[in-house]
Amino acid sequence: MKQRILIVDDDPGIVAAITPALRAQGYEVSAAHDGETALAAFRQVGPHLVLLDLVMPKLGGIGVCQQIRQQSATPIIVVSVKGAEADIVTALDNGADDYLVKPFRLSELLARIRAVLRRSRAPQPLIQCADLVIDTTRRIVLRQGQPVSLTPIEYAVLAELVAHRNGVVTARQIVQRVWGPQYADATDYVKGVIRRLRVKLEPDPAHPRYIITEPHVGYRFNDASGTVSSPSSP
């Protein structure tokens, strides 16, 4: 699935300059030109990353930052002409992940996007959980050492759950990430896939241990045991 980037900038020139470069890298790009439409677009598109200008009509970049952070951990890179120490510190302390001063070098922006996305999607190569092993690099799932055959959609949904393991993911989020933003309310799809996943992965599909339903909120991948591979910060 293509990664989606939302550009928020009131200067159409900037948007026009960046967009094709991002598309060339294989990202899907959408844009908003003021703070309020940015938040609406954010909810609708469910992007994997936000490129955010600071100076904007309606609602400033800092405000957008805070609003997004209240509802999501989606990475944000602020791109602004304001290069003062105070601006940078304020943005970073209000939830931005990186800060780039205009004018910037395109390849640097791309590299910073890669770095931020790499960390946020943190595909820990191996996730082990009782009798399940999920190898995200090979797209393989083992259950009690036996490989489980998953269809592409099943795997994509599982990956989405595992990416936020121990956290709740709404059906809406899953549909947006796996099928695309335009399917946002086709949450029926998820029901079916979740069921098939449970049949294939759960010891007792009727009483799930891994794929837990958080009533009226969404689903949660329950990883009781700590992840064993690739030790992160000790």
Partner DNA sequence: CGGTTTTTTCACTGCTTTTTCACCGCGCCC
Partner DNA sequence: GGGCGCGGTGAAAAAGCAGTGAAAAAACCG
Nearer to DNA, 61 or 218 (CB): 218
Sole window of 31-39, 91-99, 120-128, 144-152 interacting with DNA (rule: CB under 7 A): 144-152
- Per-residue binding string, a copy of itself, 32-51, x by CB under 8 A, is --------------xxxx--
176 binds a copy of itself (CB under 8 A): no
DSSP secondary structure code for residue 226 in this structure: P
CA 183 to chain CA mean position, Å: 17
Going edge to edge, which strands form the sheet with 218-221? Answer: 168-169, 218-221, 211-214
75 binds a copy of itself (CB under 8 A): yes
Residue 233 interface partner, choices a copy of itself, DNA, none, CB cut-off 5-8 Å depending on type = a copy of itself
Residue 14, phi then psi, degrees to nearest 5: -60, -50
Question: Which one of residues 25, 66, 71, 225 is an interface residue with a copy of itself (CB under 8 A)?
Answer: 71
Question: Which one of residues 194, 210, 220, 223 is an interface residue with DNA (CB under 7 A)?
Answer: 194
Question: Which one of residues 37, 124, 128, 213 is an interface residue with a copy of itself (CB under 8 A)?
Answer: 124
Length of the chain: 234
Other CB atoms within 10 Å distance of the CB of residue 211? 19
Measured CA to CA, the distance from residue 191 to residue 72 in angstroms comes to: 23
Helix (H) or strand (E) holding 98: strand 98-101
Residues that bind DNA in the complex, under the rule CB under 7 A: 149, 151-154, 171, 179, 186-189, 191-196, 198, 205-206, 213, 215-218
